[in-house]
Structure 1
Amino acid sequence: MDFTPSNTIITIVAFGLLYLALNKWAFGPLFGIMEKRRQLILDQMNTAESSRKQAEASMAEQKAELEQARKEAYAILEQARTTSTKQADEIVQSAKNEANRLKDDALKDIESEKNKAISALRSEVGGISVKIASKIIEKQVDEKSQEQLVGQYLKEVGSK
Structure 2
Amino acid sequence: MHFVWSSFFIQLIAFLVLYWLLSRYAFGPLFGIMEKRRQHVQEQLQSSERSRKEAEELLKQQKEALQEARKEAYDIIEQAKTTASRQADDLLAQAKAEAARVKDEAVRDIENEKAKAVAALRREVSAMSVLIASKIIEKQVDEKSNEELINHYLKEVGG
Tell me the TM-score range normalised by the shorter chain. Answer: 0.7 to 0.9
CA shift at 1:45, angstroms?
0.7
Aligned counterparts of 1:17 and 1:133: Cα–Cα separation in 2: 167
Q: Which residue of 2 aligns with 1:95?
A: 95
Separation in 2, partners of 1:77, 1:105: 41
TM-score normalised over the length of structure 1: 0.78
Distance 1:139 1:96 in 2: 61
- Counterpart position of 2:48: 48
TM-score (norm 2): 0.78
Alignment identity in percent?
Answer: 56
Matched, 1:4 2:7: no
Distance 1:139 1:89 in 2: 72
- Using the TM superposition, give the Cα deviation of residue 122 of structure 1 relative to its aligned residue in structure 2, in angstroms: 2.3
Q: Which runs of 4+ in 1 moved over 2 A?
A: 128-140
Q: 1:149 — aligned with what?
A: none
Secondary structure of residue in 2 paired with 1:17: helix
Deviation at 1:138, TM superposition (A): 4.9
> What residue number does 1:77 align with?
77
Which blocks of at least 5 consecutive residues in structure 1 are unaligned?
A: 141-160
1 CA distance for matches of 2:28 and 2:115? 128
Separation in 1, partners of 2:4, 2:108:
147
- The residue number in structure 1 matching 2:104 is 104
Letter of the 2:87 partner, please give it: Q
Task: Name the amino acid aligned to 1:56.
Answer: E
Separation in 1, partners of 2:74, 2:39:
52
Q: How many residues align?
A: 140
Letter in 2 for 1:105: E
The equivalent of 2:14 in structure 1 is 14
Q: Give the distance between the partners of 1:34 and 1:6, measured in 2 at CA.
A: 38
CA distance in 1: counterparts of 2:104 and 2:29, whole angstroms = 110
- 50-59 or 88-97, which moves further after superposition? 50-59
After superposition, what is the alpha-carbon deviation per residue over 1:11-55, rounded to whole angstroms, capped at 9, x for unaligned?
222111111111111111101100110011101111111121122
Any idea what SS the aligned residue of 1:34 has? helix
Alpha-carbon distance in structure 1 between the residues aligned to 2:89 and 2:139: 73
Question: Which has the bigger relative contact order, CA under 8 A and spacing at least 6?
Answer: 2
Q: What is the rounded CA distance, in whole Å, between the counterparts of 1:108 and 1:28 in structure 2?
A: 116
